[in-house]
Amino acid sequence: MKKAQLVFIPSPGVGHLVSAAQFAKLVLDRNDNFLITMLVINNPYAESISKYIESLASAHTQIKFIALPETIAPPSAEALAVSAEHAFSCYINDHKTIVRDAIVNQVMANNPAPIASVVFDLFCTAFIDVARELGVPSHVFFTSGAAFLGLMFYLSDREEYGQPKFRPTDPDYIIPFYANPVPYRVLPLLHNDEGYETFAYHGRKFKDANGIIINTFSEVESHVVHALLARDDIPPIFNVGPLIDHRGKSLSGSDAVKRDEIIKWLDDQPEKSVVFLCFGSGGGFDEAQLKEIAIGLEKSGHRFLWSIRLKPSKGQLHASYFDNYGEILPEGFLERTENTGMLCGWAPQVEILAHRAVGAFVSHCGWNSTLETLWYGVPIITWPLYGEQHINAFQLVKDLGLAVELTLDFRRDCPTDFVKAEDITKAVKTMMEQGGELRNKAKATSEMAQKAVVEGGSSYVALGNLIDQWLENKP
């Protein structure tokens, strides 16, 4: 059979790159008739991104990675502070000519195989126009859940019908893609006009694509899937998840040593006795909040593994590691918790969630982390920080019943937001001591997730249908 090409264009963030690489690998595992090229947009605010791409390239040798020229001015710190999503959408949009030239000169010119689709990330809708200009199909690769996709369609509908933007005094919103009314407080990424308009714009542009690929599985978001299928104004939906990198990145040096220390410590703990705290690449806190977390964990009396970071400095997106724990955390904390707790910077999250000792996950509720947690059947304690994490947390707690609420509306960028030690203690004790029903539901969801991706499962079938559509597009 003749080859066909796919051009992937992820947003320039680690979470987006991880999902795109996992999906590309999944496609090749199912059908080796595809040649996949990934165009990588520079992220000027993530110094480690180039090293991460090198790691991806070495791990996925069958995928060709092309770093695009760094000729576009990065978004300003001021613009990022107003709405990072809007600022980066504009930055990505400015790459249209660069992307077109890369496809023509480095993809089409180097291989006669037809392009079956340009597969672009949710913030990269500008490249629908590039694909149309080149006469090739395009597909959205949506790295968050189906409910958030539905929310973006809902925003575009509101704009189309001239409805006002969200305001603090509004009653809870009846959004078809959520089973419960949605309060204003869990939609911080839509509280300013720039953020609202950005997501409404992308939701509107999605309708021009040939299909939408979602990193979810139909069983966990059945309410949303039915609501999406009821619409006749959107492209075909393909739920192909959960996409999870079970192996993680290859480790060497200090990372390998730390990984071994963490796993050895977990091996020595009783089953389901450890609370794991990790908040993603941007998940750090100021010193006052870190102290409060420490107090809350100690008072809970439960074992813990805490990936600890300071909040990003102004103009940066990634949180920073530090080693001087004793200078920041309460006096004597390290000594008192020596036998019950472990602190680390970087953590091998997937391996930790898979470990028998882990009984709960205090999470920022980023979608990749959420899917990893659901896969391994670990119940969640929600602590969202930014982006769509708040509405993900709301969905997990209210709609899906898979999480305990620590907070749903904490704002990393709001200096007055503060989670008290007693609330942390309460959430941990509630989950660890009274969370039997949640554990059972998490286990059942894990079984559904693992069935979805094997032959005959819903996501397996959806991917087959998508591949058929791509191959049918070949001349």
Give the DSSP H/E element, type plus range, for residue 274.
strand 274-278
Bridge partners (DSSP) of residue 173 are 182
| Domain identity same for 184 and 302 | no
pLDDT tens per residue, range 324-376: 888 899 999 999 999 999 999 989 999 999 999 999 999 999 999 999 999 99
Phi, psi of 278 (to 5 degrees): -155, 140
| Domain identity same for 307 and 237 | no
| Domain identity same for 307 and 376 | yes
| Domain identity same for 226 and 291 | no
Going from the C-alpha of 440 to that of each of 82, 343, 365, 435, 444, the distances in angstroms are 41, 28, 20, 9, 6
Q: Are 202 and 122 in contact (CB under 8 A)?
A: yes
| Domain identity same for 205 and 345 | no
| Domain identity same for 221 and 342 | no
| Domain identity same for 32 and 156 | yes
Q: Are 144 and 243 in contact (CB under 8 A)?
A: no
Asked, for residue 441, whether it belongs to a domain, the answer is yes
Calculate the dihedral angle through the C-alpha atoms of 429, 431, 433, 435, rounding to the nearest 10 degrees. Answer: 160
pLDDT tens per residue, range 255-283: 788 999 999 999 999 999 999 999 987 78
Q: What is the pTM of this model?
A: 0.94
Asked, for residue 371, whether it belongs to a domain, the answer is yes
Q: How confident is the model at residue 249 (pLDDT cuts 50, 70, 90)?
A: low
State the average pLDDT for the chain: 92
Q: Residue 160, exposed/middle/buried by CB under 10 A (0-12, 13-18, 19+)? A: exposed
User: Does the pLDDT of residue 254 top 80, yes or no?
Assistant: no
Asked, for residue 376, whether it belongs to a domain, the answer is yes
Q: How confident is the model at residue 179 (pLDDT cuts 50, 70, 90)?
A: very high
Asked, for residue 247, whether it belongs to a domain, the answer is no
- State mean pLDDT over 224-237: 95
Asked, for residue 334, whether it belongs to a domain, the answer is yes
User: Does the pLDDT of residue 474 top 60, yes or no?
Assistant: no
CA–CA separation, 377 and 235 (whole Å): 32
| Domain identity same for 383 and 274 | yes
Note the maximum CA span of the chain. Answer: 70
Q: Which residue has the tokens 């066909």?
A: 4
Question: Higher-confidence residue: 85 or 14?
Answer: 85
Name the token pair of 103.
Answer: 């496809």
Q: Are 395 and 147 in contact (CB under 8 A)?
A: yes
Q: Are 146 and 177 in contact (CB under 8 A)?
A: yes
* Residue length of the chain: 475
Q: How confident is the model at residue 317 (pLDDT cuts 50, 70, 90)?
A: low
| Domain identity same for 392 and 464 | no
pLDDT tens per residue, range 42-89: 988 766 666 667 777 777 778 999 999 999 999 998 898 889 899 999
Domain count, the chain: 2
Asked, for residue 117, whether it belongs to a domain, the answer is yes
Is the Cα torsion angle 336, 342, 346, 352 positive or negative in sign?
negative
Calculate the dihedral angle through the C-alpha atoms of 439, 440, 443, 447, rounding to the nearest 10 degrees. Answer: -160
Asked, for residue 226, whether it belongs to a domain, the answer is yes
CA–CA separation, 451 and 130 (whole Å): 37
| Domain identity same for 426 and 466 | no
CA–CA separation, 189 and 14 (whole Å): 19
Which residue type is seen at 73?
A
| Domain identity same for 363 and 430 | yes
Q: Are 389 and 364 in contact (CB under 8 A)?
A: yes
- State mean pLDDT over 283-310: 95
| Domain identity same for 167 and 152 | yes
Q: 10 Å Cβ neighbour count for 5?
A: 24
The CATH number of residue 228's host domain is 3.40.50.2000
Q: 10 Å Cβ neighbour count for 58?
A: 11
Asked, for residue 246, whether it belongs to a domain, the answer is no
434 is in which domain, residue-wise?
253-448
Which residue type is seen at 26?
L
